[in-house]
Amino acid sequence: MDAQFLDLLAQKYDTEEKVVTEIINLEAISNLPKGTEHFVSDLHGEYQAFQHVLRNGSGNVKEKIKDLFREVWTDNEINDFAALVYYPEEKIQLVKAELCNQQALNQWHRQTIEQMLMLISYASSKYTRSKLRKALPEQFVYIVEELLYKTDSTNNKDPYYDEIYRQIISLGQADKLIIGLAYTTQRLVVDHLHVVGDIYDRGPDPDKIMDTLINYHSVDIQWGNHDVLWIGAYAGSLVCLANIIRICARYNNLDIIEDVYGINLRPLLNLAEKYYDNNPGFRPKLPADHNVSESEILQITKIHQAIAMIQFKLEIPIIKRRPYFHMSERLLLEQIDYDKNEIKIGGKTYPLENTCFATVNPQHPEQLLEEEQQVMEKLLFFLQHSEKLARHMNFLMKKGSLYLKYNGNLLIHGCIPLDEEGNMEKMQIEDKTYSGRQLIDVFEYYLRYAFAHPEETDDLATDMVWYIWTGECSSLFGKREMTTFERYFIQDKETHKERKNPYYHLRENDEICRKILLEFDLNPDHGHIINGHTPVKEIRGENPVKANGKMIVIDGGFSKAYQSTTGIAGYTLLYNSFGMQLVAHKKFNSKEDVLCNGTDVLSVKRLVDKELERKLVRETNVGEKLLQKISNLKNLLEYRYMK
């Protein structure tokens, strides 16, 4: 063992007692049951629904309440208490409005604090005291610990405990304590959160989700294609930038760009007003009960066209300078007969509708007008100087990766690109060919490089981020082509189809999943692949658990726009010491509904995998690190302290 390393360690553990105490502590921890992992994906800006799933721990909170109180409480009482744990601030106000006098309120406070403490004690039974302490409301740690660890069997201290309760209530601290304890409970039921991609786009509040994740106690992120699009824009890719604005316009979310991230859209609006008019193909998607004025809709419709046309133009030079992207079929602006208003795709000619080509030079469709160029430069400047976006993107980079190996499982948003035979699909980049894990590692290398060099906008790394969004060998896109252009301008639905990578039918097969797990050095007997990205069409009988349980697809279906195709609000996954459970969620209506009617988006659980023996911390990623530390400390003990 390296003497210098031991010297360093000896500085921290400078007595034999300290070393021994730490070894005992770590050994004990590694024999506790593993903490609960919670997997969610495809949040798509749906902050409220995500909050709900987070606050109820995919049904875990209610389960713990039921374990404790099922014998003595009615369903209504259970729902009420659950709502208090999920949304304590609001629920307390509702309770107060119902109680008739101070005495009844005092009684409710005392009883509720006692019940919360019982719940916390139960929910923390597999954690150390130190871990629980970290989860307790900071200002009340001392008091809560006193109440939690009552050991006086002689009842000598009863008056002492009574007095604590009385003081909390008379000093007006009861609400705060209950709120704090509710958040402690939420935190205890989930030890670690995995977000398997697609935080951004389509829904209204991705920024609030980011803030929630930044404040969450333990989280990792596997980037989704939409997250990569935002990273690409921030890293200097103009085409990614055009895409994120186009999607925001399409879903009536330009507020995110303008108000949330402070990017001035005025120059783009001026351009849009000059060249575009109303166009049924570009009106934003709106819910039936919207209250957006016609003039606002018209403005968005114009911006939508302006930015979509800029996007299509910007794609051309990238496709041309990167022949190995194999995207020449996507040079669609060059396939248009601008006089006849037709396009030739795959040898077939289609009429075009809803066209808006006022800024296109038919001889050079890739050319941006000077004004378009200036607009994009300004937008990029604003974007790269948004303090809030910088914070969110940095967090995405810090906690995120294209895939993650965690406790024997492989987490990845989209796919492992395969050919029809089930071999790892090959992609040539410059003069080298990559496939499988190596290809994805190369993608990640370029993405991180692009992020580190936001001033470079046309280099390979920046182009590659766009490729990850839309290229046929991308592990996040998983389709042969993105038919955005066709869906705007061609009526024939045949042209709208996006052919999926063979992975999506091959992943039903046990052997293929085993092969993929091996490619990532994971044990195929125990590991699972966990995917997001494709909404599971339960409506049509699709099963989210595939390949004899080796493959689990948890597209959360949070995205309202997609709920009609899934028939459900999607899935989340829990992995605790007893095994893995898939949770199916019903549609989330509103927080008010949960608070007033006790309707929890109640979840149906399906067992995916059951551990033969309860899984311990020592068998996890974290446990591996603990065992390494124990071994180092034992060396320290032997070489520095033992006589």
The residues of the shown chain that bind ligand FBP, judged by CB under 6 A, are: 198, 225-226, 479, 482, 484, 498, 533
Determine if 224 is a binding residue for Mn ion (CB under 5 A).
Answer: yes
Given the complex with Mn ion, which of 9 and 415 has the nearer CB atom? 415
Determine if 225 is a binding residue for Mn ion (CB under 5 A).
Answer: yes
| Residues ≥6 apart with Cβ < 8 Å to 503 | 415, 416, 417, 418, 478
| Residues ≥6 apart with Cβ < 8 Å to 465 | 228, 231, 232, 235, 237, 240, 446, 447, 450
Given the complex with ligand FBP, which of 366 and 486 has the nearer CB atom? 486
Q: How far apart are CA 1 and CA 105, in angstroms?
A: 63
| Residues ≥6 apart with Cβ < 8 Å to 548 | 510
User: CA nearest 186: which of 63, 57, 94, 67?
Assistant: 57
Q: Which residue is nearest to Mn ion (CB)?
A: 533
Minimal distance in Å, beta carbon 200 to Mn ion?
Answer: 10
Given the complex with ligand FBP, which of 127 and 477 has the nearer CB atom? 477
Minimal distance in Å, beta carbon 413 to Mn ion?
Answer: 6
Minimal distance in Å, beta carbon 41 to ligand FBP?
Answer: 10
Q: Binding residue for Mn ion (CB under 5 A) from 37, 63, 198, 315?
A: 198
Given the complex with ligand FBP, which of 224 and 436 has the nearer CB atom? 224
Given the complex with ligand FBP, which of 79 and 484 has the nearer CB atom? 484
Given the complex with Mn ion, which of 515 and 533 has the nearer CB atom? 533
Residue 80 φ then ψ, to 5°: -60, -45
Triad 571, 573, 574: Cα angle to 5°:
145
Given the complex with ligand FBP, which of 57 and 224 has the nearer CB atom? 224
Q: Exposed, middle or buried: residue 201 (CB in 10 Å: 0-12, 13-18, 19+)?
A: buried
Minimal distance in Å, beta carbon 213 to Mn ion?
Answer: 17
Q: How far apart are CA 518 and CA 531, in angstroms?
A: 17
User: CA nearest 532: which of 198, 81, 252, 250?
Assistant: 198
Minimal distance in Å, beta carbon 324 to Mn ion?
Answer: 24
> Residue with structure tokens 């307790």?
136
Q: What is the maximal distance between C-alpha atoms in the chain?
A: 96
Given the complex with Mn ion, which of 44 and 585 has the nearer CB atom? 44
Minimal distance in Å, beta carbon 496 to ligand FBP?
Answer: 9
Residue type, 260: V
Minimal distance in Å, beta carbon 418 to ligand FBP?
Answer: 18
| Antiparallel, parallel or unpaired: β 545-546 and 551-553 | antiparallel
Minimal distance in Å, beta carbon 566 to Mn ion?
Answer: 14
Q: How far apart are CA 435 and CA 473, in angstroms?
A: 9
Stretch of residues binding Mn ion (CB under 5 A), selected from 73-81, 129-137, 194-202, 582-590: 194-202
**Is the CB of residue 499 less than 8 Å from the CB of residue 265?**
no
Q: Binding residue for Mn ion (CB under 5 A) from 62, 533, 560, 618?
A: 533
Minimal distance in Å, beta carbon 226 to Mn ion?
Answer: 6
Residue 602 CA, distance from chain mean position: 21
Minimal distance in Å, beta carbon 468 to ligand FBP?
Answer: 12
Given the complex with ligand FBP, which of 342 and 481 has the nearer CB atom? 481
Q: Which residue is nearest to ligand FBP (CB)?
A: 482
CA 450 to each of CA 331, 377, 382, 570: distance values in angstroms, whole numbers, following the listed order? 24, 17, 18, 33
- Which tokens in the block code for residue 204? 């209204």
* From the list Mn ion, ligand FBP, none, partner contacted by residue 484 (C-beta under 5 to 8 A by kind): ligand FBP
* From the list Mn ion, ligand FBP, none, partner contacted by residue 392 (C-beta under 5 to 8 A by kind): none
Minimal distance in Å, beta carbon 32 to ligand FBP?
Answer: 38
Q: How far apart are CA 182 and CA 86, in angstroms?
A: 7
Q: Exposed, middle or buried: residue 339 (CB in 10 Å: 0-12, 13-18, 19+)?
A: exposed
Minimal distance in Å, beta carbon 497 to ligand FBP?
Answer: 10
Given the complex with ligand FBP, which of 61 and 482 has the nearer CB atom? 482
Q: How far apart are CA 486 and CA 489, in angstroms?
A: 5
Q: How far apart are CA 336 and CA 344, in angstroms?
A: 7
Given the complex with ligand FBP, which of 119 and 307 has the nearer CB atom? 307
* From the list Mn ion, ligand FBP, none, partner contacted by residue 55 (C-beta under 5 to 8 A by kind): none
Among left, alpha and beta (phi > 0; psi -120 to 50; other), residue 436 is: left
Determine if 202 is a binding residue for Mn ion (CB under 5 A).
Answer: no
Minimal distance in Å, beta carbon 198 to ligand FBP?
Answer: 6
Given the complex with ligand FBP, which of 115 and 225 has the nearer CB atom? 225
Residues 125-154 vs Mn ion: string with x where CB under 5 A?
A: ------------------------------
| Residues ≥6 apart with Cβ < 8 Å to 332 | 312, 343, 345, 485
Given the complex with Mn ion, which of 119 and 416 has the nearer CB atom? 416
Q: How far apart are CA 505 and CA 528, in angstroms?
A: 17
* From the list Mn ion, ligand FBP, none, partner contacted by residue 479 (C-beta under 5 to 8 A by kind): ligand FBP
Question: Within 10 Å of residue 180's Cβ, how many Cβ atoms?
Answer: 21
Q: How far apart are CA 601 and CA 585, in angstroms?
A: 6
Helices (H), 171-237: 174-189, 206-214, 225-234
> Residue with structure tokens 């037709």?
342
Minimal distance in Å, beta carbon 337 to ligand FBP?
Answer: 25
Given the complex with ligand FBP, which of 88 and 224 has the nearer CB atom? 224
Adjacent-strand bridge partners of 342: 337, 351
Binding site for Mn ion (CB under 5 A): 198, 224-225, 533
